[in-house]
């Protein structure tokens, strides 16, 4: 996760106490291992965010890929940050939360560059879950309304190309995949579904953060490009075409 808020850090770190996670984050920031900055104006609505510092990245042998913000800086609004927090919420829900038995988390892949020079497709993430019927492989796309629908038209073409090329099996060992699109509103989701169904009824499934929050990632919250009936995620895997 390139940037986290306190709750995401608490979940990923396995902390049960707000006091303990606050103390740990403050200590890591003071030690120069984390950078802290704030999202929102002054007052109770302001949220503290954290990212690895250059020193912190060296300590754990990873690249410093967090947002380039000055320590203790204040951001009024930042689509980049909001987008990554949305991706993080899915990561925390799938890797650290209790999954419905007998489902298990297999792996998560983040991308800092396109899958290939020819395809020029950079998914938000790729996840594999072990299910009663085998491994479910899915690319995740988080949409907060910042991308033009023309961008989605190109994205759909590239995912169809990926499905037909066999490149997914070569790269990830899976010959079938879904593209799970999670939007910030029903209105936005309807617009994206309209774009997608002009090209395909396959591959793509759609939901919103609100629906997932109310019924869980594995509830009947997923929709095909066409139709109003919500389906549970595993139903889409078992009955996929």
- 151-204, pLDDT tens digit by residue? 999 999 999 999 999 899 999 999 899 999 999 999 999 999 999 999 999 999
CA distances from 48 to 85, 102, 241 (A): 12, 36, 44
Residue 40: per-residue pLDDT:
80
Residue 235: per-residue pLDDT:
53
Residue 75: per-residue pLDDT:
80
Q: How many CB atoms lie within 10 A of CB 61?
A: 6
pTM: 0.90
Residues 156 and 200: beta-carbon distance below 8 Å: yes
Residue 42: per-residue pLDDT:
63
Write out the E strands in the chain. 4-5, 34-39, 47-52, 74-75, 104-109, 125-131, 134-143, 178-183, 204-208
Q: How many CB atoms lie within 10 A of CB 204?
A: 25
Residue 41: per-residue pLDDT:
66
What are the residues whose beta carbons fall under 8 Å from the beta carbon of 136, sequence distance 6 or more?
Answer: 128, 129, 130, 178, 233, 234, 237
Which whole number is the average pLDDT over 76-85? Answer: 87
Asked if pLDDT for residue 84 goes beyond 70, the answer is yes
Tokens of 182: 């999670």
Q: Tell me which DSSP letter residue 78 carries.
A: -
User: Coil, helix or strand for 11?
Assistant: helix
């Amino acid at each position: 996760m390139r940037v986290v808020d306190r709750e995401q850090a608490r979940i990923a770190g396995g902390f049960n106490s707000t006091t303990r996670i606050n103390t740990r984050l403050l200590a890591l920031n003071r030690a120069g291992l984390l950078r802290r900055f704030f999202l929102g104006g002054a007052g109770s609505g302001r949220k503290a965010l954290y990212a690895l510092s250059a020193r912190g990245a060296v300590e754990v042998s990873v690249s410093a890929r967090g947002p380039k913000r000055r320590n203790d800086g204040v951001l009024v609004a930042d689509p980049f940050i909001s987008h990554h927090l949305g991706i993080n919420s899915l990561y925390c829900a799938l890797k650290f939360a209790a999954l419905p038995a007998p489902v298990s988390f297999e792996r998560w892949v983040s991308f800092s560059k396109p899958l290939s020079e020819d395809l020029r497709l950079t998914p938000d993430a790729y996840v594999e879950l072990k299910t009663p019927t085998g491994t479910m492989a899915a690319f995740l796309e988080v949409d907060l309304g910042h991308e033009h629908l023309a961008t989605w038209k190109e994205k759909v073409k590239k995912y169809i190309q990926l499905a037909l090329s066999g490149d997914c099996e070569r790269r990830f060992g899976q010959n079938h995949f879904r593209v799970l699109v999670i939007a910030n509103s029903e209105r936005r989701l309807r617009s994206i579904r309209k774009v997608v169904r002009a090209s395909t009824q396959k591959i793509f499934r759609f939901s919103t953060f609100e629906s997932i929050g109310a019924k869980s990632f594995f509830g009947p919250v997923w929709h095909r490009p066409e139709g109003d009936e919500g389906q549970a995620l595993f139903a889409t895997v078992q009955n996929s075409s």
